[in-house]
């Protein structure tokens, strides 16, 4: 029986508890007087019983499920002979992996180690016992707590306040998830990065001019000792993002101006959602478009002028990324342009300025902080964009200013370092987390500045 069916049973049990709690509340009022003698509506008594039936059992379930695999693996490993266990940590990890594969039944029949098979059988037997125990404890706690509440139901009992207190605690817990996520991101990235910087000095990483994360597999292998200088990777990232912004900012800003200042409402209701579709297209689609349509086109066009264009040029990735962030720039600019008070425009018209003069000399300067904030947000999005560059930009970290050559970006490197087989203590894998930390820091700084600027700007005209 799958442990998840316990949850279904628990749900059934708590609805049963709800019905009985409610019925008891009714029965206590006595016939004829209705529910007016009760402190709360009868449903709240039922709800309280149901909550006390479900919540403690649920907590036990979550705790049990998160620990059980750990404990069971440990118990199963203990059955192995000591000679197999006295090995270095990574081999022991391999053994644990083998065991888990056996338990899941992934290993082909011929290469099963009989001792390990025994351990796996032991694991499965223990697992069965553990599930039975879990079922017993859960039902005991559900029964005990719901019976306790059931017994204590009195007309004077402040059931509604209890229920509301519980729900409010749940709401607070939900709202802390955002904080926990941030802490989780920072800690997980930071922790692995610190391990990386123990092997590779921080200054080498931040100021090194060469990026080639391939490590020698054997000691006698020539050449690749691995060098982790982030400068070429960062340069590629900024170049591609720069190209993207060079496309997106003029086009996005001009279309926002046109749509908010010139276009008739009829045009606006059609053009705006159409442009927003661009924002809804998944990035993997843009990546495919860049790799299959734009990159060959640029290569052929370059060939006509006698230019040597790489088929993974930064230009192609940058242009397509620019298309992707056009709607981002235009909708953010649209917001801030609309927030400029009409009185400013009217004042300018009264002085005899034309529409375009009003826009260029009055509206844009007034909206500038907001527009800059929007551009910063767009930049942060371009820097963190992954799929377009993974599919259309290169892997080799060239330190170049030529957009026609292949360059790589931070996100591309993270993906190539972490996709596929990985060992968790080589600098190669850990470097991905160091890059992640770098990426997180850069985008965080951009976001904080942008959000601050936009918020300040909004307050100015409100």
Partner 1 sequence: MQVGKRETTMERVNRGLARRYLQERLFRLFGLGAVILSICLLGLLFVSIGLKGWPAFEQTEILLDINFDQELFAVDNLMGADYGALVKSSMRSLFPEVKGRADKRKLYRLVSSGASYVLRKMVMEDTAIIGSSRKIWLPADDEVDMLLKGHIRRDVPESDRRLSDQQIGWIDQLTEAGLLKKKFNTTFFTAGDSREPELAGIHGAVMGSIYTLTITLLLSFPIGVATAVYLEEFAPRSRWIDLVEVNINNLAAVPSIIFGLLGLAVFLNIFGMPRSAPLVGGLVLTLMTLPTIIIASRAALKSVPPSIREAAFGVGASKLQVVTHHVLPLAMPGMMTGTIIGMAQALGETAPLLMIGMVAFIVDVPTGFTDPSTVLPVQIYLWADSPERAFVERTSAAIMILLAFLISMNAIAVFLRRKFERRW
Region 338-357 residues binding partner 1, contact defined as CB under 8 A: 352, 354-357
365 binds partner 1 (CB under 8 A): no
**Count of residues touching partner 1 (by CB under 8 A):** 93
Instruction: Tokens for 255, please give them.
Output: 């279309």
Which of 141, 328 has the CB closer to partner 1? 328
- Rule CB under 8 A: choose which of 39, 160, 428, 458 binds partner 1: 160
Which of 104, 219 has the CB closer to partner 1? 104
278 binds partner 1 (CB under 8 A): yes
- Rule CB under 8 A: choose which of 227, 415, 427, 458 binds partner 1: 415
Site for partner 1 in 234-273 (CB under 8 A): 250-255, 257-259, 261-263, 271, 273
**Going residue by residue from 439 to 458, which x/- string records binding to partner 1, judged by CB under 8 A?**
xx--xx--xx-xx-------
Site for partner 1 in 27-86 (CB under 8 A): 66, 69-70
309 binds partner 1 (CB under 8 A): no
Which of 407, 435 has the CB closer to partner 1? 435
Distance separating alpha carbons of residues 284 and 167, to the nearest angstrom: 41
Scanning 178-186, 195-203, 309-317, 366-374 for contacts with partner 1 by CB under 8 A, the matching segment is 178-186
> Whole-number minimum distance, CB 297 to partner 1, in Å?
10
105 binds partner 1 (CB under 8 A): no
Nearest to 289 by CA among 317, 328, 315, 311: 317
Site for partner 1 in 207-236 (CB under 8 A): none
- Rule CB under 8 A: choose which of 54, 159, 291, 375 binds partner 1: 291
188 binds partner 1 (CB under 8 A): yes
> Whole-number minimum distance, CB 437 to partner 1, in Å?
9
> Whole-number minimum distance, CB 346 to partner 1, in Å?
18
Distance separating alpha carbons of residues 371 and 364, to the nearest angstrom: 8
125 binds partner 1 (CB under 8 A): no
Site for partner 1 in 136-155 (CB under 8 A): none
From first CA to last CA, the distance across the chain in angstroms is 60
């Amino acid at each position: 029986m799958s442990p998840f069916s316990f949850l279904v049973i628990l749900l059934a049990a708590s609805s049963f508890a709800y019905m009985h709690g409610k019925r008891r509340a009714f029965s206590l009022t006595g016939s004829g007087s209705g529910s007016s003698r009760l402190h709360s509506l009868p449903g709240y008594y039922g709800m309280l019983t149901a909550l006390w039936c479900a919540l403690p059992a649920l907590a036990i379930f979550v705790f049990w499920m998160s620990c059980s695999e750990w404990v069971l693996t440990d118990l199963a490993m203990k059955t192995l002979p000591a000679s197999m266990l006295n090995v270095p940590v990574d081999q022991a990890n391999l053994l644990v992996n083998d065991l888990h594969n056996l338990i899941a039944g992934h290993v082909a029949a011929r290469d099963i180690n009989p001792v390990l098979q025994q351990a796996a059988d032991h694991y499965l037997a223990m697992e069965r016992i553990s599930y039975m125990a879990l079922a017993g404890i859960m039902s005991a706690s559900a029964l005990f707590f719901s019976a306790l509440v059931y017994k204590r139901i009195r007309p004077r009992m402040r059931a509604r306040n209890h229920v509301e207190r519980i729900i409010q605690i749940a709401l607070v817990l939900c709202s802390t998830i955002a904080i926990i996520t941030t802490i989780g991101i920072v800690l997980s990235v930071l922790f692995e990065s610190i391990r990386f910087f123990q092997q590779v000095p921080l200054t080498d990483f931040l100021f090194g001019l060469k990026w080639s994360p391939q490590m020698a597999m054997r000691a006698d292998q020539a050449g690749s000792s691995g060098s982790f200088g982030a400068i070429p990777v960062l340069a590629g990232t900024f170049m591609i993002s720069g190209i993207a912004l060079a496309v997106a900012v003029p086009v996005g800003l001009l279309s926002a101006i046109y749509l908010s200042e010139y276009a008739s409402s009829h045009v606006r209701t059609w053009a705006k959602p159409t442009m927003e579709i661009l924002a809804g297209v998944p990035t993997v689609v843009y990546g495919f478009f860049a790799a299959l349509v734009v990159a060959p086109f640029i290569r052929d066009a370059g060939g006509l002028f006698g230019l040597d264009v790489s088929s993974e040029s930064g230009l192609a990735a940058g242009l397509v990324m620019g298309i992707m962030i056009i709607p981002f720039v235009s909708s953010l600019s649209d917001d801030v342009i609309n927030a400029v008070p009409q009185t400013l425009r009217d004042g300018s018209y009264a002085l005899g300025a034309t529409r375009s003069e009003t826009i260029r000399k009055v509206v844009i300067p007034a909206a500038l902080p907001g527009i800059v904030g929007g551009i910063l947000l767009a930049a942060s999005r371009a820097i963190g964009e992954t799929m377009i560059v993974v599919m259309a930009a290169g892997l080799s970290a060239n330190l170049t200013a030529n957009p026609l050559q292949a360059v790589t970006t931070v996100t591309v490197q993270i993906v190539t370092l972490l996709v596929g087989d990985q060992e968790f203590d080589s600098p190669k894998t850990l470097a991905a987390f160091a890059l992640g930390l770098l990426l997180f820091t850069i985008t965080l700084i951009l976001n904080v500045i942008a959000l601050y600027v936009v918020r300040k700007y909004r307050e100015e005209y409100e």
